[in-house]
Amino acid sequence: MSKQTSPPPIFFIDRALGQRLVAKALRKAGAQVEVHQDHFAPDSPDTEWLPEVSQRGWIVLTKDARIGVNLVEQIAVAQSGARVFILSLKEGATGTEMAAVLVQAMTSMTRLITSQPEPFLAKVYAFGKVRMWKDHRKLAKVLREMLDESDNEA
């Protein structure tokens, strides 16, 4: 009997990480990659593309930490079942530096994808270190609180 393996993840690089350098480095390292500009308008709001990317089963890579603190975007992540990795490096990190860290983190990101239920927000730090930031429980709580608030207003 053979052990069933899941297909390799497809990483979606949002506009915050640029168009070429990060995608090229990840592809060279063997990853499947989709780039924001190939599927969405440059100014499309995160709340618009997050559900579509998630529906396709793609894994979001970004450096936009606001996704994890903006309530509307957290709700979009929670409702769509998004799996998001946020690159957390010093201000002004070059494309080459960002690409190197993401390539270094690929194994850890893949491990997290296969071991954690969706949705989630995780951070990727220097040297490819990956840490869960908001797991499915925390994001479900955000949804419940939002629903409770809207019930109280009605």
- Tokens standing for residue 41: 């308008």
To 10 degrees, the CA torsion angle through 104, 25, 39, 120?
0
- The answer to whether position 76 is within a domain reads yes
Q: Residue 154: what residue type?
A: A
Answer yes or no: is 3 within a domain: no
Q: In this model, does residue 113 exceed pLDDT 60?
A: yes
Residue 126 gets which letter from DSSP?
G
Q: Is the overall model pTM greater than 0.85, yes or no?
A: yes
Q: Is 119 inside any structural domain?
A: yes
79 found inside a domain: yes
pLDDT in tens, 37-61: 999 998 999 999 999 999 999 999 9
Cβ(105)–Cβ(126) below 8 Å? no
> Sorting pLDDT into bands at 50, 70 and 90, what band is 147?
confident
Which structural domain range is residue 82 located in?
Answer: 10-153
Number of domains in the chain: 1
